[in-house]
Amino acid sequence: MVQQITAAAAGTINLGGDLTVNRLGYGAMRITGKGIWGPPEDHDGAIATLRHAVELGVNFIDTADSYGPYVSEELIAEALAPYPAGLVIATKGGWERPGPGQWTHNASPGHLRKALEGSLKRLRLDRIDVYQLHTPDPAVSFEASMETLAELREQGKIRHIALSNVAREHIERARKIVPIVSVQNRYSFADREWDYVVNYCAENGIAFIPWAPLRGSESAAEVLESVAEKLNATPLQVALAWLLKRSPVMLPIPGTSSRKHLEENVAAAALELPQAEFERLSAMTPAPTSLR
């Protein structure tokens, strides 16, 4: 039974030794328009949702310059700047949006420098707390991308560097250049292709940020619904509770543009998932799914 609505109920996680956030964050991709393109249909609703997330104890918000593009970052600043103490805004660069539902790689040094400057301006910040390489660029040296971010960190424009959509190899290569505080990959109770990355992060004190927490097969969804009914919770709440129980380095960031769904998501922080149900969900092993 979900008893309270506060992200603090999930406990905390440390990022880089100097940032501590509640272990249930908010993903700000869905506050943009359809196809993650353009402004939201309900601008005021998006602003209200962002503000309510903070009211519910969320102090880690994840976004990217490509969400909109630019729209998500602009809305975050409009809703929350000047930011309350302890609120961490994590953004990304290295993936561009040429149109609705489209993604193109660009993690070249020149683009990353330009992308960071744009994010700083839109977010109204002098330094990004957590800046993530959105995805490795197959046409650009991974080391060149990471060395560029390391230089920007040395210049004081980035506090901590993170990765997204990577394999263990990328994390190890990146750590030879600069400390990595978090990794964001697709992951859920029914989609554990990146289990070995979760384990690597846990072994090395790196936060793991899962996206697509409900990704999985229809058979997995049936089990999820069965557990949810037993616990008087929603399927997404159970999926989030499984993630939180899976590893102490897990930092889920469920996203929504709805105030109601936001409250449901944050309420999962207090949901106690019995060990038997955790193991039942953990036994689900559907076939791997594609990245996009």
| Among 68, 77, 140, 66, residue whose Cα is nearest residue 110 | 140
CB 180 within 8 A of CB 206: yes
Task: From residue 15, give the alpha-carbon distance in Å to each of 95, 117, 160, 221, 248.
Answer: 23, 23, 8, 32, 13
How many Cα atoms occupy the beta-carbon half-sphere of 93 within 13 Å?
Answer: 24
What is the b/e burial string over 243-261, where b = at least 16 CB atoms within 10 angstroms of the residue's CB?
Answer: bbbbbebbbbbbbbbeeeb
CB 136 within 8 A of CB 166: yes
| Among 106, 122, 117, residue whose Cα is nearest residue 157 | 117
- Length of the chain counted residue by residue: 292
SS3 15: strand
CB 171 within 8 A of CB 200: yes
Q: Where are the beta strands (DSSP E) in 94-198?
A: 95-96, 104-105, 128-133, 158-164, 180-186
Q: Is 67 a catalytic residue?
A: yes
Active-site residue, from 67, 83, 131, 187: 67
Q: What residue has token string 């700083």?
A: 120
Greatest alpha-carbon pair distance for the chain in Å reads 53
The secondary structure element, H or E, covering residue 13 is strand 12-15
Catalytic residues: 67
